[in-house]
Each structure stands twice: as structure tokens, then as C-alpha cells.
Structure 1
Amino acid sequence: MAAMHELNPSIKFEIYTTIPQWFFEQSISGIFRYHSLLTDIGIVQKTPLREDLPETLRRLNNFLPFDPSRIISLTDEIKKANCRFIICDISPMGIEVARESHVPSILIENFTWDWVYDNYLSTEFPAGKFVDYLRGIYSFVDYHIQTEPVCSYRNADLCTMPVSRKVRVTSRLIRQRLRIPDRAKVVLITMGGIPEKYMFLDKLKYHTDNYFIIPGGNQTVQLVDNLALLPHHSDFFHPDIVNACDAVVGKLGYSTLAEIYHSEVPYGYIPRPNFKESDVLEEFVKGQMHGFAISESQFQEGSWLSSLPEIMEISRVKRKGPNGAAEIARFICNLPDIKSQALFGKQT
């Protein structure tokens, strides 16, 4: 959205999601209206690394198929807002609304939920009817865009490099605000926005040659010794934090991977062995980035810290390719009659 606003500042967005409004206020400077709406179930998480399949199944049974009255109500809103396109960030609900309102739909994804649920099918997770239902909805999309790392290649209209928000301020400015010396080695520890209790914080203070930035590490900004603990929602723009670090350690997830990819820093990633996307992301890191795997137990216990000197010696990857966000923005802005758009976003 930010990349589209750069190309055409007159574009307006109607954003339907449960992602907090502050995220969009922090990410884009253009015109948008926010609508709090559950647009998909995804996979319910017990922790950042553990899924809750029984709860996922319960919510899917309550959510699918889509309530016809909800689709009609959303269709009325889309028509009143005079939306020209409906952009779907993995979420299939927007495709259904687009069909009902006769507005072209654009699907942007590196996986679809039918593909994910299909991997979990078992007697404990009898979700076959949801796989078939969602696969049918996805087939009706008008424009299909896939973003690397792609989990299942389709006959897409566009395939781009990883999509991330652009860095805004210099590494030096971020370090100054966090009282980190310019030449210090800095590690970002992140679990991708899902709350996590870090059991190894006391061990970090013994690594005095390094500084650690931890979003979600405290309710307020706390700068103590070599630790910068930040709330989940802070004035610090996450891509700027990534860019200010020498390495990132955290959950293997798309958004974090994309920001690291474009900031060119090493990635100590924690795979999610039961989540189908994780294998694809790991192969991409191995082939296109400088990274190293850390098991869940190694992360939780803090034993990965013994490898910190070697981690900090890993060089950055020199990269010249485009950001997928810019590629997608150009594609959409070249479609006819771009003025107002509705975005139906995935929930996590």
C-alpha cells in the first residue's frame, strides 16, 4: 500500500482486518479507512512456535462457509465506497465479496490456506471440506500475484521478490535513540509480533560485547545495560530496527524474512516443524540469504548464545534486486481505473 501511494497519492484504501489500526498508521502515509473485521481464521497459535489445531478446527466450523448476510453487507459497503478493486492478502473473503459486488479481485500470496490446511489433514484435523471450499473460492480470483518464497507455484499474473516495508531512517539514528554505540554489534530478537516470554534475558547481560534489541520485551521502552526492551507497539518502525542490526534471531516467518532479506543481515531462524510454510522459507534462507537454524529448545534455553561470536562474523549479503512491494505496486497501478481499493488482509 505504501508503494502504491508513492506511485499514485490519490489512491484510497478501505482496510478490512483484525491487525491493529496503529500498524497501518505507522506503515502508510496515504488515505485509508480502517474496518475491524475477521476475514480468515488462519492457524490458531498457542505460542509463536506452536499451533492449536483443535481450536483452529472449532473456529473454522464457526466461520466457514461465509455467512451470506455478511458478504452482502460487505458488498454494500464496497459499492458505497466506490471501490475499483479488492486486494486480498491471502484472505479469501475478499474474493467472495468481489464476486458478489462485480469488482475485480487481486490475490497476493506466498501460500493459500487450502494449501496449508491440506498438510494437516488427519482424523484429528478433518478439514477436507474447508480445503475444497477455499480452493474453489481462490479459483475465482481475477488477478493472481505470488511473492517469493512461493510455497506452491501457480499460473500467476506476476511473481515477485520478497515483499517488505521500506527502511525510513538510518541505522545510526536508530542506534542513537536506543543509546547503542555506532560500532557496537547488535542483535535483534523477534518472534514476529506474537507475545513470548524470553527465559534467557538474564544471560544476555553477560555478552557485553553485544547489544540486544527485543520488541515485545517490555510494556514500555526500557534501556538497561546492553538491552533495549521495546513494547510490541512503539515509535520504532520495525524495518528500521532490522536495518540497524548486525544479525536477527527469531521465528521463521514471512514478514521477518522479507525485512531481513532486503536489509541483507544474517538470520538466525527458528523453524516451525509442523507448519508447512516453514520448510519453504528455510530453503529460501539457505539458498538466498546468510542464515543458520536454531532449534526451539536452543532458543528458549539460550544455548544459541554460545555461538554468538561466530554469528556476528557472518557477512551481509549484497543485494541489488527490487522489493516485491514496488513490483506489485507498479502492476496494480497500471491496471485501469485505480482510485479506491478495498484490502482484505490475513489476520496474523
Structure 2
Amino acid sequence: MSRPILYLAITNHGFGHATRGASVAAEIQRQCPDVLLILVTTAPRWLLEAYIPGDFILRPRAYDIGVIQSDSITMDKAATLAKLQELRQKQNEIIASEVNFILQNRVGLVLADIPPLAAPIAKAAGIPCYMMSNFGWDFIYRDWADEYPEFNDMADWIADCFSQCDRLFRLPLHESMSAFSTITDVGFTGGTPRYSVEQLRQHLNLTAPKEKTVLLTFGGLGLEQIPYHNLERFPDWQFLTFDRNVPNLPNLLHLSNPHYRPVDVMPACHCVISKPGFSTFSEACRLNVPIISITRDDFAEAAVLLQATQNYLPTQILQPAEFFTGNWDFLHQPFQPPRIPDAPRPDGNQEIATAVLNTLQNA
């Protein structure tokens, strides 16, 4: 029997797609150590290695755009549109190049999160394409068409690509994703903490109690102008952050990647303060860690995430002014209880991995 070979294409946007894709890749590798993983992404190798313990091939290619951003919430729609139009003009060249690579390397299946061109690439190569996501880029771009009508054309093109996908694993906290013809709903994806709470408290010298320990995490691009001066109002609290540009405050601890990941420290925290992001929310849901999040009115996925997360977790939803210019009194306020407190949280990593391996091994 030949070695199963998986081509995993991950969107060129932030770190969230990379971490959830890598979490699934790690489970595939755990279930079948013989599998050859080819990760096709511009995400940094250190980030992928923080989630995938075994070997993999990294093919640094970007054949989608996501959103051009200066930080985790500041978007450049005009630049995004220009890059999308350029990408569409190059699609035949990109497809030909990747089909050649796939055939040369005898890839058995494409799994994508969620570059639209992955589906026509797989179709041209004559192999199945599975995708995984809670939203499609057509959903994001169509929401901007009032400001830039050309996004409607881009969204139609992307939806046509998605329609060529053989099977979508639809993650929780999702939009309808109606461009896909075959949809399988799965559970939450994400990493598993590497340390016990006791180990974390010792390694990080955490002296504040859990109910006064807070993780600040705003995605791979970070967030400009976080009002760190508010932390001085909470001298007996402990705040953890991965942000590299932080002031020297006695109650603010900078954590270094990749030794620690957000999911590693969540169990030691009372809550997570974040912008809307699937991977952070999904890992919090898997661990039942409350979320405090700011809203994002110009990114369609954000409203879906915020609404759906309130089903599963204790939450506080803040207006941007409460976070950026307020005094952070929200830390003293109670959480809104989850709407569905006993909702199951099945393991999406395992569900997707098992289905992918069944297809690869029976090809």
C-alpha cells in the first residue's frame, strides 16, 4: 500500500486559519504516522511546528488574499480588492503550477482552509478536494459591495470555486456557506494545552489567583494602541500577553512564541480578552474559558462569531469605546451566562482527520 499524501492549503490571512489547520494536521498525523503532510501556506514554520509535533513539508505559496490589514482589526479594502483582481488574472498560471506539483508528488487529497482556488486545482488534478471553515471569503467580500461594487464580482467568482469542492467540514460559529453543495457539520477545532495549571503557575510565577488572571490575545497581527495604562488600575491582577510591544508593568507578563501558545495558558486564566476570531473562540469553547470581546462592525464574520459564541460560553461583548477609551470597569462586571450551557463540544480535529484518512486510505 502506498504512503498516503495530503496537500493541506491554508489561507494567507492571520494566524487563526494556520493554527486550526495545523491542529487538524496534527490529529491526522497522530492517527496515521505514515501520512506525508504537505502544508501549502505562507504561515511561519515556527507557528506550524508549535501545533504539529512530527515532520511535514512546507510549500510557501499564497493563492488567496484574505484581507490586507495593518493590525488585527484595521483593514485596507481597496488594497484587498486590487490584490484579488490581480490574483484572478493569474489563476490559470497558479492552477497549472499546483496541478503539476500535485501530480509529481502523487497527492491523494487536497484539504483546504479555505483558499477558493484549492477546489479548481484539485479538480484539474483529478483528486478530491475537502474544505474546512466556519465562513467563506465570498461572505466577507459581498458585505463590502455597497462601498466597492466590484467585490460582488469577486464574491461570485469565489462562490463558483467553492461549488467545485467535494465536501465542506463546516465548523461551529458559522455562516450558512451556501456555495457548498455537500456540507458535514463538525465540532470545535484547536490545540490542546501542553501544561497543567499547576505547571503554568510555577513556570510563569503566577501569584494572582485564577479569578484575577486574564489573557490578552488579539491574533497574529496584534492590535495597535492597546490601552495598557488601564492595567495600573488592577495592581493585584495578572495580565498575560503575546504582544511584543508592551510597556514594562509589574502585572503584565509577556509570553514568547512558540514556547507558549494562547491555548496553553487559557486554563490558568479567568477569561480571555480578544477581538472576534474563530481559533481563539474555538479553543476557549473547547476549554470552557469565558470570553470578553470587542465588536467589529466592518467584518461580516465578527457578528456571526459573537452571536454564536454566546451560545456556548460566558461572555461580555464590548463596544470599541469601552475597550479603547474606557477605564476597564467591565472586568468587575458579571458575564452573560451561555444560552446553551450543556451544548456538546465534540472534537472537530478528530472528526475531520478520520474522514480525511478514510478517503486517503481507500483511494
| SS state at 1:195 partner | coil
| SS state at 1:249 partner | strand
Cross-structure match for 2:138: 114
Among 253, 259, 274, the residue aligned to 1:250: 274
Structure 2: gaps (5+ residues): 1-24
Deviation, structure 1 residue 283: 1.1
2:188 corresponds to 1:162: yes
Among 176, 191, 197, the residue aligned to 2:218: 191
Deviation, structure 1 residue 117: 1.2
Length-normalised TM-score, structure 2: 0.85
Equivalent residues in 2 for 1:31-46 (5 A)? 31-46=55-70
Cross-structure match for 2:252: 227
CA distance in 1, matches of 2:198, 2:35: 33
Residue-by-residue CA offset, 1:106-126 (whole Å, 9 max, x unaligned): 111211111221111125342
Cross-structure match for 1:16: 40
Q: Do the aligned residues in 2 keep the contact of 1:50 with 1:272 (CA within 8 Å)? A: no
Deviation, structure 1 residue 266: 0.9
AA aligned to 2:220 is: G
Equivalent residues in 2 for 1:69-88 (5 A)? 69-88=93-112
> Which moves more between the two structures, 60-69 or 264-273?
60-69
Among 200, 208, 212, the residue aligned to 2:235: 208
| SS state at 1:122 partner | coil
Deviation, structure 1 residue 39: 2.1
Length-normalised TM-score, structure 1: 0.88
CA 1:217–1:301: 2 relative to 1, 3 Å: farther
Equivalent residues in 2 for 1:1-348 (5 A)? 1-122=25-146, 124-154=148-178, 155-181=181-207, 183-184=209-210, 185-218=212-245, 225-231=250-256, 233-303=257-327, 305-311=328-334, 321-337=345-361
Structure 1: gaps (5+ residues): 340-348
| SS state at 1:31 partner | coil
CA 1:123–1:277: 2 relative to 1, 3 Å: closer
CA distance in 2, matches of 1:259, 1:245: 13
AA aligned to 1:225 is: P
CA distance in 1, matches of 2:319, 2:264: 27
CA distance in 1, matches of 2:91, 2:359: 31
CA distance in 2, matches of 1:7, 1:296: 43
CA 1:199–1:99: 2 relative to 1, 3 Å: closer
AA aligned to 1:43 is: V
AA aligned to 1:187 is: V
AA aligned to 1:226 is: N
AA aligned to 1:228 is: L
CA 1:312–1:70: 2 relative to 1, 3 Å: closer
Q: How many residues align?
A: 334
AA aligned to 1:183 is: P
CA 1:225–1:130: 2 relative to 1, 3 Å: same
